[in-house]
Amino acid sequence: MKPDYTRAGAAATELILEIFRANGQLLAAGDRLMKALSLSSARWQVLGAIAEGPATVAQIARMMGLARQSVQRIADVLAEEGLVRFDPNPNHRRASLLRLTEEGQHRSDEIARLHAVWINDLTRGAEPQLFLQAACALRELQTRLRNAHADEPGPTDDTPWSR
């Protein structure tokens, strides 16, 4: 028996299925792109999340839609490699701020250069408005998902930003 979707429900379902397919392709492409820098897509995500400024592990997890424990493991590895450091957080005694080191900033700059070449090549000849509309649709979907589950308890997190 075929589900009885509204037009919007059917369209959103199609979008979600395409997101699932694209996610796998993006992770694989990111791994290939970052191989020259000895990084994975996961490490790229964490470095990218703090490229514009420091953040706590919990903030990065929420921003990227990842599990806090996964981000913590990646942050620990990046710290061991000298790409990030944990600094005291003036707003929260136990939630350190993750910040790029000088080497991490250098690596982040290399990532940005590689990404620009890759994405410009990938999108050559494409209409920018198409990607802007897709980004808008994804933001709308994310807002609706957050609002639909706003009253449900989230993961336990004792940082002030999770309240």
CA distances (Å), 120 to each of 54, 105, 112, in order? 28, 22, 12
Is pLDDT above 60 for 162? no
CA angle at 160 for the pair 88 and 77, rounded to the nearest 5°: 45
- pTM for the full predicted model: 0.79
- In the CATH hierarchy, which fold is given to the domain comprising 35-145? Arc Repressor Mutant, subunit A (1.10.10)
Summarised one tens digit per residue, pLDDT across range 78-122 is 999 999 999 999 888 889 999 999 999 999 999 999 999 999 999
- Secondary-structure percent of the chain, ordered helix, strand, coil, rounded to 5: 65, 10, 25
